[in-house]
Amino acid sequence: MKLLFVHQNFPAQFLHLAPEMQRLGHDVRVITDATNPTRMALPILRYDFKAEPVEPKHTRLGRTYTTMSDRGVIVARFARKLRAEGYVPDVIFGHSGWGETLFLKEVWPEAKLLVYAEFYYRGRGADSGFDPEHQVSNFDQVMIAQGRAAYLGQALAHADKGVSPTHWQASTHPKPLLHHVEVIFDGVNCDRLAPNPGASFALPDGRVLTRGDEVLTFVNRNLEPYRGYHIFMRALPQVLAARPGARVVIVGGDEVSYGSKPKDGGSWKDLILNEVKDRLDLSRVHFTGKLPYDRLVDLIHVSRVHAYLTYPFVLSWSMVETMAAGTLVIGSNTAPVAEMIEDGVTGRLVDFFDVPAWSAALTDALARPEAYLGMRDAARRMVRERYDLRSVCLPRQVELLTRLERS
């Protein structure tokens, strides 16, 4: 088939699927933003998009739609040039989150359109208003969240099919559109992540950690409230006081992926660190910034306990990868984490906001690693059975594309 992937930050969720479809003999092409530096052994076509300033007073609830639909217009015009050159894909697979797919069916009505329906903003019951410390919770915010979702509903309504990585993320979409959505997780490479007793990880100060060390990890793209950075940091003083041999390795950047920046400037990383640093032994708290994937794998292989927190929002691959590596994950009792972790069976779940409970859970897991061996093994088995890239998720993704092309 002629298969077109569309994602402003390609490869993203298509990291494994795009080359696999090419390996299977399909004609695979990619449309992405010109600012995306990715290089792969695939034809990558780039469009230019510069977001115009949006006047809040004029657009009100339509601000997000204006920006996303502007991008959609640029992509559609770019696609029309491809059509004029004779290119017509059989299947288009694009992420709906940036508006790129909004008008592609108008360019190629004969093509089947599959959208990656990662999340649908809701006024209640998800991330909006979840954390009163860092979010305003009132009816205006409910309407704003609903307004932000308009383009996502349009994208799915005009698609032939949607795919979402977890059942909860799928369930955030409006009921009339749910029949469009299949649930297929992106997949993790369980063979690559299999426990490695000989693993080591070099800290920024040159010290080398190994499997025998008492290591607590926290990993996110950026260190911010949406991913519970503030809760984790507030739990650390008690953990480090109780475990004098423990070391904490924190991975993530200083930017904001989700939500708002601090009101008074600076970064969430520094703001929260300044709140607790006087109660921390900072010689045992190591910030690495963002890590290359191979280094991240080394880190989770030496980790004894991994903390993962999130508002009810999209799930990070790193949490499932850490479970696949045989490292104990203690997660927040929020969706979709609770879809992956069964408390006391494949890991531990703790109330997102309960700082003392986080301190106690992390301390106990560091102190008694043998008590959690069964959970670690059960988590590895569960991930391999349900979410392994090669044996489960990738075949399901390929089958979906094939079925859609033939429908």
Alpha helix stretches (DSSP H) within 131-202: 139-148, 150-157, 167-171, 175-178, 190-193
- Alpha carbon distances (Å) from 322 to 215, 220, 281, 307, 329: 13, 12, 26, 10, 7
Percent of the chain at pLDDT above 90?
90
Q: Tell me what pLDDT residue 57 has.
A: 67
Is 265 in a helix, a strand, or coil?
coil
Q: Tell me what pLDDT residue 37 has.
A: 96
* Residue pointed to by tokens 């045992």: 284
Domains of the chain: 2-187+389-406 (3.40.50.2000), 190-387 (3.40.50.2000)
Q: Tell me what pLDDT residue 321 has.
A: 98
At residue 208 the predicted structure's pLDDT band, cuts being 50, 70 and 90, is very high
* pLDDT of residue 199 exceeding 90: yes
Return the structure tokens found at 190.
Answer: 């369980």
Is 403 in a helix, a strand, or coil?
helix
* pLDDT of residue 58 exceeding 70: no
Q: Tell me what pLDDT residue 61 has.
A: 77
End-to-end, the C-alpha distance of the chain in Å comes to 13
Dihedral of alpha carbons 337, 343, 347, 353, sign: positive
Q: What digits encode the pLDDT tens for the residues 300-334? A: 999 999 999 999 999 999 999 999 999 999 999 99
At residue 393 the predicted structure's pLDDT band, cuts being 50, 70 and 90, is very high
Give dist(CA 22, CA 283) in Å, integer: 48
Q: Tell me what pLDDT residue 136 has.
A: 81
Alpha-carbon 34 to chain mean position = 23
Q: Helix 63-84 to helix 150-157 angle, to the nearest 10 degrees?
A: 30
Give dist(CA 22, CA 291) in Å, integer: 28
Contact 372, 57 (CB under 8 A): no
Give dist(CA 98, CA 315) in Å, integer: 18
Give me the mean pLDDT over the 370-384 stretch.
98
Q: What digits encode the pLDDT tens for the residues 322-365? A: 999 999 999 999 999 999 999 999 999 999 999 999 999 999 99
The secondary structure of residue 393, as a DSSP letter, is I
* pLDDT of residue 394 exceeding 70: yes
Q: What digits encode the pLDDT tens for the residues 265-308? A: 999 999 999 999 999 999 999 999 999 999 999 999 999 999 99
Q: Tell me what pLDDT residue 377 has.
A: 98
Spatial neighbors of 244 by CB under 8 A, at least 6 apart, are none
Alpha-carbon 57 to chain mean position = 32
- Alpha carbon distances (Å) from 157 to 145, 173, 177: 19, 11, 7
Q: Tell me what pLDDT residue 53 has.
A: 83
